[in-house]
Structures are given as structure tokens and as C-alpha cells.
């Protein structure tokens, strides 16, 4: 019996509010709605505009279009629902219309049914906390506050920072419930009071709204004083979003800079201290960040007067707002949203092939009433497959917008995201039964949603059988050596039956790996897992030829496979007429390197086990598929993968789609050379290009068992040309078109990890292996590295720079006046 580990995590629903960033009225309403939603403080506010406004970048740079900015925010937060502040803002974003809501419908109005409204309201939470804590301690002092600004101009500011309740008559009950449950201290806010509040602990309505939620920000961030114009909605939106992704953000209105100056300078001096637990003397700094509304000319005078402490090394001024809408380049640490957890559970689920169901028991907040509106909270599910021979798909293409896949149940939707599989829970104590699929079945089903039919080819079947027979990629490692693959192939070419004397087999398997203690069990693996079958070779007394016999087909009389006559078992001199021998079985007996199955299996193993040590990545795979795009339009791929880099605590990276073409060795003799078409020819390259055109952004892999020096000049030229095509930057997707990876014997036969294999090769390989910053498990990085190693292309960054320079020269030439 196999088992699957199911991690379930409970968190509030994540709503992304779409609004024009200068809309004062509606941003205030958004702050208020979020005060009434459990976990509302962490819901992003996504600025929407038709044209990127001038204030967006202080220096007037236009790095992206308006729609790219909106999409960038969405990708950063992967919302469960969109909330339009005005109808139509979600148009063109490709979001499932059933998950687009209206701001005015978010909260249930007084007298409306329980089923109206969206998300989990704070009322259940207030009631629960009141019953559990506050009804007994009301007489004691607490630090819960209700903040109302002295001047109306600061209403938006106070709502963004502390929270505020709706004032509509039929929504007043939220504010009253807060009042009744906690009897908060009423704060009349001005600059002085704000400075006082920052000095002590306080609990605002916005903070109570995320009770029971653990927030993990994943990485250390220096505390930030965010200097903003309190009357500018766009600054408040920026503040809101920054606080949703980073800890320790304190807003400082320029209007109150005078009053807050003392506090700020003290804060900066106090925070200039060694980073706790860091032995290298790294210091913490409080940053003073200036919001986009603060005019550039005013920054220095403001800073000099109110913020600069003069303590050597302590002062850090930042004039730019972090571009949280922009994907991080591959060489930097990416910033992710925090992980919110209101409960988690890990269960091992029994699993069998004939009943491929995994049970998911949903987690609910303990404070939630039994009945309410639908989709009040979310469960994040992560699956880990332990024993099912690396066949089961537990990774899926990420799509939080309008996924058609995966469909584990006929009715319930699941959103595949970098966080995991999101299940929007409808009722308390609900339970799911998810139907799981193998990689091949899952990938085919997904292709069907793209109107593509896929059929397994013979080569694909052989690859699957090899991986399955050997019990997954751990077993595939048993033939990850050129001598072993060649040995297995040579046996298939033996006359009569693909068999080999037992001791010869053992010796030939073990001798290439003499002294390699960790791979000393290759022989046992291949024998025990059934790549070969033990039997006897008997010499026919009639025609003197040798044939192989299975153990259960032997007797005192046997039939010769060649002359078909019956002869007697050599009982008198068994040493001369009989010997124990292994025969290759199933896919292993197929000629031409198991019809390419070894190369494909080793290639898939590379992505599953070698490139990231098998820990920090996960693949779902399918081998040898013929894809039908139309009636007479078929393209074959030797393997298709979903590849995802896993992160233990935090969000995974987006899943990547990988198409691969795998080649075996050049044939060993003249006859084989004719049979085995081992070179990457133009058809292979065209096929891969076509796949990348159909699936923009996918990764293309050319893998061969050959050594790099055995690649012909023509092959290198062909693949280089495609690689340069793939290097082109696609603005719309904000990444290169189709990274091309080249794998050779160095990678396919790597015994353990890529780092280890490259480290032993010396030269450039070793250099790449030892550079700690280089993350080869990032396939875009791996593409760049292997293109340098095997195609002699310049590093991607250099290539891009040269291209820009050439373009600049051309432009200049065009603008220059014609020579006299
Ligand atoms: Zn015979």
C-alpha cells in the first residue's frame, strides 16, 4: 500500500481590491470593508489605471504598461477573489467571472440573510473573543483602541492604519459590535497623539481582525518609516500593500513630521544594532522611505530636518517604492507575500492504484459559526507522494485566475497556485475526496483543456515501463552509467535471445563502478526489480546452438528454439552444456537503447532527482507523447514535465512546462549507426520550436547520452539558433521566449547531484558548481549555463547587453544627419 502525505493549512480568503489609486471615497470604503473581514489587513489593493501615471516612477521611467502593473500585483498575491471598486475594473484580466465581486456586496447588510456577504466577517471573531476572554476581564486595563482623527482630512489615513467601520445605517452593526465586545479606548488622533501611540503597544480594530492568524514574513526586513502624504489615497494604498508583505512598517505623515521627528530619530538610533543571531556583525537599519507623492525636491529638506540622526552608519534614506508588482530577476532573492496560518494538519493518506482517492478533511476556524455565506475561508493543500514509484502527479501548472485543471472532484473547484492547491471551503466540517492521477493521465487531461489530444508512443510506453519497473528514479540511477547502458544494449543484440551469463553480467555491471560504495547495488537493483530474468542457457545436442530457457520451462527434455528438435538436459556434464544466464525482459529487451527509453528515463530523472538533489523540486512527468493539434498535425515529444521548485516554508515557484527531446548514443557498429538516428536534426529543432510557439514560455530540452565533444558542429549550430530565438525577451510575459537546455552525458549520467557531477569535471563546470549564487535548479539559469557550456553562447546577460548596444547604435545612425 502506498501513501500520500497531505498538508492542509487554514487561512482567511484573500481578496484583491481593484481601485483607481486616486479614488479617495472608494479606497476609504475598501479600508472599512477590510476592517470587517477576518484577515482583511492582508488583502492587497491593486491600483488600476489605463495609462501609467507620471507619479508612478519618481524618475519618469516606464518599465511596464498599466496592464502589466495590475497583472504584476495579481501574480504577487494570487488572490482567491477579485473585488471591483467600480464595475468593469476586472475586465481583460482573464479572471473567472464567478470569482469577481463588487465592493458594495462584500458585507451583509442589517436584515439580510446569513448567506449574503463574502468572506468571514469579524463578528464571529468578536463574539468568540468576547466569550473567551473579555467578558471576564472588562474591568481590567487593555490596549484596544478606536481611533478617530481630529481633522476630517486624516480620515483615510486613520482608516488605513488602524481600521474603521462603515457608517452606512445598515452596516453600523460592525462598529457597535466592536464597541460592545471590547469597550475600546477612544483615541482622538493628531500628530502628538500618533507619536504617543507609536511609543507604546496598542491593538487596533485592524489588528483584532486578524486574531488567530500566524503571519510568517519569511525573511528579515529592516523596519521602515514610510513617509507619506496622509491626504493622498495613492500613498495610503502603497502603505497598505507594503504592510501586507513586510513587517514593521510605520507610516509617518509629512503633515505631522514635526511632531513625529523626535520619535523617528529615536527609532532610527534604537534600531541601529547588530542583527540578532547574526555572527558576522551585520547591522539592522531603520529605513526612511519616501512615498511617491512626496515631491523629489522636498525629500532632502524634510529628511535633514526631521529624520537624519547623524549617528554614523544609522541613517538610510530610500526615495523609491519597492516594485512589488515586478517579478524578481532570477539572480536575486524574490519577495513573496507572507504565509498566513490559522491552523494546519498533516495526514498520511492510504492510497492504492485501483482506488486512487485522497481524503481531505478541511480545517475551519474555531470561532466561525456553523452557517454563513459560502467561501468564508480557504484551505491550502500540499501533497507529497512517497512510494508510488514517482508516477503520481502532485504538481500542477499554476493558474489562480481561471483554472480548468486540476479537477479532483466533479463540482468543487481547486486553484493551483504557488502556495499549494487552494480549496475554497463552503461549509464547516466539509470533507473532500480527491481523485488523483498519474503524471501521464494528468498531463493528458490538461492538454485536453487546450484542445490537444495526446497518445502515448511506443517509445513513451517503454520509458514509462522502465521507470515503473525500477520503482521510480532511485531505481533508474542503477543504469546511470554509459558502460551499463551500453552493456544492456549490447545484450539485446545477441543472437537467439537477449541473455548473458550470470557472472559475466555481474562483473560487467560492477567493474565500471569499482570503489563507488554508494552505487554498489546496481546489480541487485536491476535483478531484483526485474530488468532481467534468471534462466538457463542450454546447448542443443542436435544442432550445437545455445538457447535460453526460463526456469519454469526446463525439464529433462527440452525443445531447441532453433532446430525445434527435442534434446536431453546435459545431465552428464552440466558445466559444458548448461549455464545460468540472465535475459533482459520487457522494455529492457527492446533494441536501440530500449527504443530511446533509457535516454528519456535518464532525462526525466535528471529533473526529478539530480538538478535539485530531489529535495527542492518536484515533477509530474509523461514520456513519449504524440500531440495532435489538428487532424494531420501531430508532434511528438520524448518527455513532457511540470517542474516546480519547492520551498519548505513559503510559496513555491511557479510550475514550468518542459518539453524534451532525448537521444541515445551513436550506434556502436556500422549496422547500428544506420538504425540509430542519434543526431538532433532540423526536424527535431523545428518540432521544439513549434511546441514553444504553442506554449509560450515553456522550457525546451535537448538531451543526449553523448559527450559534449561528440555533438557535431551542425547540431550545435541548429540548437544555438533556436536558443537565440528562445532568448528573445517577450515583453508581454516579462521573460525570455523559450529557454533551451542542453543535457549531455555529464548530466544524464550524474550519479547524484548536478553540483557534485559538475564539481568533478573541473574548468567552467566546476566554476558554476562552486558559485553559491548560481541556482541551476532554476531552469532559466540552467538554460543559460548549459548554453554557455555546450553551445559556446555568451552568458545571457552579456548577450542581452550587446543586443541593446547594437540597437542603440542603429538608432543613433538613423538619427544622424546624412554625411555631406
Ligand atoms: Zn537445436
For 691-744, the pLDDT digits (tens) are: 999 999 999 999 999 999 999 999 999 999 999 999 998 887 788 999 999 999
Q: Of 155, 161, 325, nearest to 243 (Cα)? A: 161
The residue length of the chain stands at: 820
Q: pTM for the whole thing?
A: 0.91
**CA 565 to centroid of ligand 1, rounded, Å:** 6
**CA 208 to centroid of ligand 1, rounded, Å:** 89
For residue 677, pLDDT over 60 is answered with no
**CA 507 to centroid of ligand 1, rounded, Å:** 29
Query: What local confidence, expressed as pLDDT, does residue 423 receive?
Result: 94
Q: Of 262, 268, 149, nearest to 195 (Cα)? A: 262
**CA 559 to centroid of ligand 1, rounded, Å:** 8
Whole-number percent of the chain with pLDDT over 90: 70
DSSP state of 49: -
Q: Taking residues 93-101, report their average pLDDT.
A: 96
Per-residue pLDDT band at 194 (split at 50, 70, 90): very high
**CA 557 to centroid of ligand 1, rounded, Å:** 12
Query: What local confidence, expressed as pLDDT, does residue 384 receive?
Result: 84
Per-residue pLDDT band at 515 (split at 50, 70, 90): confident
**CA 546 to centroid of ligand 1, rounded, Å:** 8
Q: Taking residues 186-208, report their average pLDDT.
A: 95
Higher-confidence residue of 371 and 56: namely 56
Query: What local confidence, expressed as pLDDT, does residue 649 receive?
Result: 77
DSSP state of 259: H
Distance CA 372, CA 38 (A): 14
**CA 531 to centroid of ligand 1, rounded, Å:** 28
**CA 498 to centroid of ligand 1, rounded, Å:** 18
Residue written as cell 541613517? 315
Per-residue pLDDT band at 501 (split at 50, 70, 90): very high
**CA 499 to centroid of ligand 1, rounded, Å:** 17
Identify which of 349-353, 384-388, 582-586 has the greatest average pLDDT: 582-586
SS3 assignment, position 333: coil
Query: What local confidence, expressed as pLDDT, does residue 137 receive?
Result: 64
**CA 539 to centroid of ligand 1, rounded, Å:** 8
Pairing of strands 578-584, 617-630: unpaired
**CA 567 to centroid of ligand 1, rounded, Å:** 8
Q: Taking residues 491-513, report their average pLDDT.
A: 88
Alpha carbons within 13 angstroms on the beta-carbon side of residue 35 total: 30
Query: What local confidence, expressed as pLDDT, does residue 232 receive?
Result: 97
Distance CA 592, CA 498 (A): 13
Whole-number percent of the chain with pLDDT over 70: 95
Pairing of strands 617-630, 557-559: unpaired
Per-residue pLDDT band at 413 (split at 50, 70, 90): confident
**CA 456 to centroid of ligand 1, rounded, Å:** 40
Query: What local confidence, expressed as pLDDT, does residue 456 receive?
Result: 92
Query: What local confidence, expressed as pLDDT, does residue 69 receive?
Result: 95
**CA 488 to centroid of ligand 1, rounded, Å:** 26
For residue 502, pLDDT over 60 is answered with yes
Higher-confidence residue of 123 and 514: namely 123
| Residues around the ion ligand 1 (C-beta < 5 A) | 540, 542-543, 560, 562-563
Distance CA 59, CA 310 (A): 27
53: its cell numbers: 501615471
Q: Taking residues 507-524, report their average pLDDT.
A: 84
Query: What local confidence, expressed as pLDDT, does residue 714 receive?
Result: 92
Angle at 509 between CA 503 and CA 513, to 5 degrees: 130
**CA 585 to centroid of ligand 1, rounded, Å:** 23
**CA 496 to centroid of ligand 1, rounded, Å:** 12
Per-residue pLDDT band at 445 (split at 50, 70, 90): very high
Measured in whole angstroms, the distance separating CA 515 from the mean position of its chain's CA atoms is 39
pLDDT one-digit tens code per residue, 746-789: 999 999 899 999 999 999 999 999 987 788 999 999 999 999 99
**CA 587 to centroid of ligand 1, rounded, Å:** 28
Distance CA 764, CA 762 (A): 7
- 741, β-bridge pairs: 701
Tell me phi and psi for residue 82, to 5 degrees: -105, 145
Q: Taking residues 503-516, report their average pLDDT.
A: 88
CB atoms within 10 A of CB 355: 8
Distance CA 435, CA 50 (A): 43
Pairing of strands 617-630, 453-456: antiparallel
**CA 578 to centroid of ligand 1, rounded, Å:** 14
**CA 566 to centroid of ligand 1, rounded, Å:** 8
**CA 592 to centroid of ligand 1, rounded, Å:** 28
**CA 594 to centroid of ligand 1, rounded, Å:** 29
**CA 561 to centroid of ligand 1, rounded, Å:** 7
**CA 56 to centroid of ligand 1, rounded, Å:** 87
**CA 669 to centroid of ligand 1, rounded, Å:** 29
Query: What local confidence, expressed as pLDDT, does residue 734 receive?
Result: 81
pLDDT one-digit tens code per residue, 366-393: 999 888 888 899 999 999 876 656 778 9
* Alpha helix segments (H runs only) across 516-587: 522-528, 574-577
**CA 572 to centroid of ligand 1, rounded, Å:** 18
SS3 assignment, position 630: strand
Tell me phi and psi for residue 480, to 5 degrees: -80, 65
Tell me phi and psi for residue 6, to 5 degrees: -115, 115
For residue 24, pLDDT over 80 is answered with yes
**CA 541 to centroid of ligand 1, rounded, Å:** 7
pLDDT one-digit tens code per residue, 548-562: 999 988 899 999 988
Query: What local confidence, expressed as pLDDT, does residue 635 receive?
Result: 92
Q: What is the mean pLDDT of the chain?
A: 91
For residue 2, pLDDT over 80 is answered with no
166-175, 260-269, 409-418, 743-752: the lowest-pLDDT one: 409-418
Query: What local confidence, expressed as pLDDT, does residue 818 receive?
Result: 61
Residue 148 parent element (H or E): strand 145-149
**CA 388 to centroid of ligand 1, rounded, Å:** 45
**CA 575 to centroid of ligand 1, rounded, Å:** 18
Angstrom distances, CA of residue 179 to CA of 163, 206, 208, 476, 751: 13, 14, 13, 65, 66
138 — alpha (psi -120 to 50), left (phi > 0) or beta? alpha
Query: What local confidence, expressed as pLDDT, does residue 62 receive?
Result: 84
Beta strands in 335-390 (DSSP E): 339-341, 344-351, 357-361, 377-385
**CA 491 to centroid of ligand 1, rounded, Å:** 21
Distance CA 340, CA 264 (A): 29
Distance CA 430, CA 359 (A): 11
**CA 54 to centroid of ligand 1, rounded, Å:** 91
Distance CA 498, CA 238 (A): 70
Using the Cα atoms of residue 417, residue 421, residue 425 and residue 426 in order, give the sign of their dihedral.
Answer: positive
**CA 505 to centroid of ligand 1, rounded, Å:** 25
Amino acid at each position: 500500500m502506498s501513501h500520500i502525505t497531505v498538508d492542509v493549512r487554514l487561512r482567511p480568503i484573500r481578496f484583491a481590491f481593484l481601485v483607481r489609486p486616486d479614488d479617495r471615497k472608494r479606497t476609504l470604503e475598501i479600508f472599512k470593508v477590510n476592517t470587517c473581514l477576518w484577515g482583511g489587513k492582508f488583502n492587497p489593493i491593486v491600483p488600476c489605471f489605463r495609462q501609467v501615471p507620471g507619479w508612478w516612477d519618481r524618475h519618469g521611467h516606464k518599465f511596464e504598461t498599466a496592464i502589466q502593473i495590475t497583472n504584476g500585483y495579481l501574480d504577487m498575491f494570487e488572490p482567491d477573489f477579485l473585488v471591483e471598486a467600480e464595475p468593469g475594473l476586472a475586465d481583460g484580466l482573464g479572471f473567472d467571472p464567478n470569482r469577481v465581486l463588487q465592493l458594495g456586496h462584500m458585507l451583509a447588510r442589517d436584515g439580510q440573510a446569513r448567506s449574503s456577504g463574502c468572506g468571514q466577517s469579524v463578528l464571529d471573531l468578536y463574539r468568540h473573543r468576547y466569550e473567551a476572554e473579555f467578558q471576564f476581564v472588562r474591568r481590567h486595563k487593555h490596549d484596544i483602541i478606536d481611533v478617530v482623527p481630529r481633522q476630517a482630512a486624516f480620515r483615510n489615513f486613520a482608516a488605513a492604519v488602524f481600521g474603521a467601520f462603515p457608517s452606512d445605517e445598515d452596516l453600523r452593526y460592525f462598529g457597535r459590535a466592536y464597541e460592545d465586545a471590547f469597550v475600546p479606548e477612544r483615541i482622538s488622533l493628531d500628530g502628538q497623539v500618533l507619536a504617543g501611540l507609536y511609543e507604546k503597544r496598542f491593538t487596533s480594530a485592524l489588528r483584532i481582525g486578524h486574531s488567530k492568524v500566524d503571519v510568517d514574513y519569511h525573511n528579515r526586513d529592516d523596519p521602515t518609516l514610510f513617509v507619506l502624504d496622509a491626504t493622498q489615497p495613492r500613498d495610503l494604498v502603497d502603505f497598505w500593500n507594503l504592510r501586507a508583505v513586510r513587517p514593521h512598517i510605520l507610516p509617518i505623515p509629512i503633515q505631522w513630521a514635526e511632531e513625529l521627528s523626535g520619535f523617528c530619530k529615536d527609532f532610527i538610533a534604537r534600531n541601529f544594532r547588530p542583527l540578532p543571531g547574526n555572527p558576522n556583525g551585520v547591522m539592522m537599519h531603520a529605513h526612511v522611505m519616501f512615498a511617491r507623492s512626496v515631491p523629489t525636491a522636498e525629500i532632502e529638506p524634510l529628511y535633514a530636518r526631521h529624520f537624519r540622526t547623524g549617528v554614523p552608519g544609522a541613517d538610510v534614506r530610500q526615495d523609491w517604492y519597492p516594485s512589488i508588482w515586478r517579478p524578481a530577476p532570477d539572480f536575486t532573492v524574490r519577495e513573496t507575500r507572507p504565509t498566513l496560518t490559522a491552523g494546519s494538519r498533516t495526514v498520511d493518506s492510504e492510497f492504492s492504484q485501483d482506488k486512487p482517492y485522497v481524503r481531505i478533511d478541511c480545517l475551519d476556524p474555531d470561532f466561525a459559526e456553523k452557517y454563513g455565506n459560502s467561501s468564508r475561508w480557504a484551505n491550502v493543500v500540499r501533497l507529497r507522494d512517497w512510494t508510488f514509484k514517482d508516477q503520481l502527479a502532485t504538481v500542477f501548472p499554476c493558474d489562480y485566475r481561471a483554472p480548468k485543471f486540476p479537477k479532483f472532484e466533479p463540482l468543487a473547484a481547486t486553484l493551483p497556485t504557488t502556495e499549494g492547491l487552494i480549496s475554497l471551503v463552503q461549509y464547516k466540517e466539509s470533507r473532500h475526496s480527491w481523485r488523483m492521477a498519474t503524471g501521464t493521465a494528468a498531463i493528458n487531461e490538461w492538454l485536453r483543456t487546450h484542445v490537444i489530444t495526446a497518445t502515448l508512443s511506443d517509445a513513451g510506453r517503454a520509458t514509462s515501463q522502465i521507470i515503473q519497473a525500477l520503482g521510480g528514479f532511485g531505481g533508474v540511477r542503477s543504469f546511470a552509467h554509459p558502460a551499463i547502458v551500453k552493456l544492456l544494449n549490447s545484450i539485446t543484440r545477441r543472437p537467439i535471445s537477449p541473455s548473458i551469463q550470470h557472472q559475466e553480467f555481474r562483473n560487467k555491471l560492477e567493474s565500471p563502478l569499482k570503489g563507488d560504495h554508494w552505487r554498489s547495488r546496481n546489480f541487485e537493483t536491476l535483478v531484483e526489480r526485474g530488468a532481467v530474468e534468471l534462466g538457463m542457457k542450454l546447448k542443443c545436442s542436435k544442432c550445437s546452438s545455445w538457447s535460453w530457457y526460463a526456469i519454469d520451462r526446463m525439464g529433462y527434455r527440452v525443445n531447441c528454439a532453433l532446430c525445434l528438435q527435442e534434446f536431453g538436459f546435459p545431465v552428464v556434464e552440466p558445466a559444458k552444456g548448461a549455464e545460468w544466464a540472465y535475459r533482459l525482459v520487457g522494455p529492457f529487451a527492446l533494441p536501440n537503447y530500449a527504443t530511446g527509453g533509457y535516454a528519456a528515463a535518464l532525462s526525466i530523472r535528471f529533473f526529478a532527482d539530480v538538478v535539485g538533489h530531489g529535495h527542492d523540486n518536484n515533477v509530474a512527468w509523461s514520456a513519449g507523447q504524440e500531440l495532435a493539434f489538428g487532424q494531420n498535425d501531430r508532434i511528438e515529444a520524448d518527455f513532457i514535465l511540470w517542474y516546480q521548485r519547492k520551498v519548505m516554508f513559503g510559496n513555491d515557484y511557479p510550475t514550468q512546462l518542459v518539453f524534451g527531446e532525448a537521444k541515445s548514443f551513436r550506434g556502436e557498429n556500422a549496422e547500428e549507426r544506420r538504425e540509430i538516428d542519434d543526431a538532433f536534426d532540423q526536424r527535431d529543432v523545428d518540432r521544439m520550436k513549434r511546441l514553444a510557439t504553442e506554449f509560450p514560455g515553456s522550457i525546451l530540452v535537448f538531451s543526449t547520452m553523448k559527450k559534449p565533444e561528440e555533438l557535431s558542429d551542425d547540431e550545435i549550430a541548429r540548437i544555438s539558433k533556436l536558443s537565440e530565438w528562445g532568448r528573445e525577451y517577450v515583453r508581454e510575459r516579462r521573460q525570455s521566449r523559450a529557454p533551451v537546455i542542453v543535457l549531455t552525458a555529464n548530466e544524464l549520467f550524474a550519479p547524484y547531484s548536478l553540483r557534485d557531477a559538475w564539481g568533478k569535471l573541473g574548468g567552467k563546470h566546476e566554476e558554476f558548481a562552486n558559485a553559491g549564487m548560481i541556482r541551476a535548479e532554476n531552469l532559466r539559469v540552467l538554460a543559460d549555463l548549459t548554453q554557455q557550456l555546450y553551445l559556446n553562447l555568451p552568458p545571457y546577460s552579456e548577450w542581452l547587453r550587446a543586443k541593446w548596444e547594437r540597437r542603440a547604435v542603429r538608432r543613433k545612425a538613423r538619427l544622424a544627419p546624412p554625411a555631406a
